[in-house]
Amino acid sequence: VHVDVKDYYGKRLKHTSDLKTNACVAPVQPTPTFIRLALKKVHPEITARYYGCGLVVPECLEGCRILDLGSGSGRDCYMLSQLVGEKGHVTGIDMTDVQLELARTHVDYHMKEFGYKKPNVNFVQGYIEALTDAGLEKDSFDIVISNCVVNLSPDKRRVLAEAYKVLKAGGELYFSDIYCNGRITEEIKNHQVLWGECLAGALWWKDLLQLAEEVGFSPPRLVTANVVTVNNKELQDTLGDFKFVSATYRLFKVPKGNTRNSKVIYNGGITGAEDSFHFDCQYTFKANDVVEVVGDVANILTHSRFAEEFTFQPLGGPTGPCGVKPMVGIEDPFELALQLGVQGPGAVTGGCCSTQSAGCCK
């Protein structure tokens, strides 16, 4: 599989337009202005060789150490380089010689463009199933990201386990990938083009939940999802009734056992999310609003880099949504994609109990 993927992304694909389906270019959400501005500074040759299915830009990045699994041409690395700042650092790991050569060629260009005195980006050759073998240290990264790459691995469990290993305590795996509505047959898995197009290797979404638990992560939090259409009759006929979505999940390396609900107030200090922080499809936190969160989310917020961005209150007293009841507990990305398709982006929000609203939370 590794040889086939190297060949597909190193030799067969020369440009985004060479893709046979739209799986690797599926947009899942509007791009915020500050991210668009960061992407404009990325060298056009890097952007032309970009293949991704989502937007892997978690919040609260200043000063963070980030690892990009399957960094390809380096587009996401160079974009994130600007967001972590000169005191942060971004490492990309990829197994494809051609992509790594392209990414490394433009390091000096980008550091000059960003006004940095020394590089805060480096690229490592290796496999995402063997991060420590590639020289990456355990407990060394705040965030691991991946954009439409995990599906290309023949051993997803090992990828998750390696990501867990290199993350610091409280760290996050934030990644977009392609998921299927069932387990792909062996016949389809052996189809080289469909594997290269990120479809034949797609996980059944329920298997992700199980694998994440097995390696130690917190229960995956579904952020957003978008239906993927193949738009290639020959390939669609081969796939039969299988359906696909592009979905973004966030998984955290936090202590186990805390399942008590909590009241939290978002303080509004995250760059690009000063007014509201879209944590996942269940919770969008508005600045200075009181929201009761489930135990898993309370545990994440307490033990991750987000701890300083929230004020935590004991349970008790009036709380609850003001007006529209928030959507609760969606795990199925197909269900979320349907909801977003009907209601439009931004329709899924958390509680809206303002500390300043009469008759609400005080």
Angle at 57 between CA 51 and CA 13, to 5 degrees: 5
Q: Given this model, what pLDDT does residue 355 score?
A: 31
- Per-residue pLDDT band for 25 (boundaries 50, 70, 90) equals low
Boundaries of every domain in the chain: 1-253, 262-342
1-253 and 262-342, same CATH topology: no
User: What band does 344 get if pLDDT is binned at 50, 70 and 90?
Assistant: very low
Q: How far apart are the first and last CA of the chain?
A: 57
**Residue labelled with tokens 């992560």:** 217
Q: For position 258, what pLDDT does the model report?
A: 74
Q: Which own/partner pairs from 45-49 qualify as long-range (CB within 8 Å, at least 24 positions apart)?
A: 45/73, 45/102, 45/106, 46/73, 46/74, 46/75, 46/78, 46/102, 46/103, 46/106, 47/73, 47/75, 48/15, 48/16, 48/73, 49/13, 49/14, 49/15, 49/16, 49/73, 49/75, 49/99, 49/102
Instruction: Say whether pLDDT at 360 is over 90.
Output: no
Q: Which of 68, 15, 24, 19 is nearest to 44 (CA)?
A: 15
Q: Who wins on pLDDT, 77 or 229?
A: 77
Q: Name the fold adopted by 262-342.
A: Ribosomal Protein L9; domain 1 (3.40.5)
- Distance, CA of 249 to chain centre: 6
Which CATH number, 3.40.50.150, 1.10.3470.10, 1.20.1730.10, 1.10.260.40, labels domain 1-253? Answer: 3.40.50.150
pLDDT at 357 exceeding the cut of 70:
no
283 has a pLDDT exceeding 60: yes
pLDDT at 197: 86
Dist. CA 299–CA 115, nearest whole Å: 38
Find the angle CA(123)-CA(128)-CA(133) to the nearest 5 degrees: 80
Radius of gyration of the chain from its Cα atoms, rounded to whole angstroms: 20
CA distance 240 to 47: 33
Percent of the chain with pLDDT over 90: 68
Binning pLDDT at 50, 70 and 90, where does residue 347 land?
very low
pLDDT tens figures, 215-262 = 999 999 999 998 988 888 999 999 999 999 999 999 999 999 777 899
What band does 294 get if pLDDT is binned at 50, 70 and 90? very high
Cβ partners under 8 Å of residue 253, min gap 6: 164, 167, 168, 169, 170, 171, 172, 173, 216, 217, 218
Q: What is the pLDDT of residues 121-177, one digit of tens each?
A: 999 999 999 999 999 999 999 999 999 899 999 999 999 999 999 999 999 999 999
pLDDT over 70 for what percent of the chain? 82
Question: For residues 257 and 58, which has the higher predicted lDDT (pLDDT)?
Answer: 58
Provide mean pLDDT across the span 73-82: 96
Reported confidence tier of residue 327, pLDDT bands at 50, 70, 90: very low
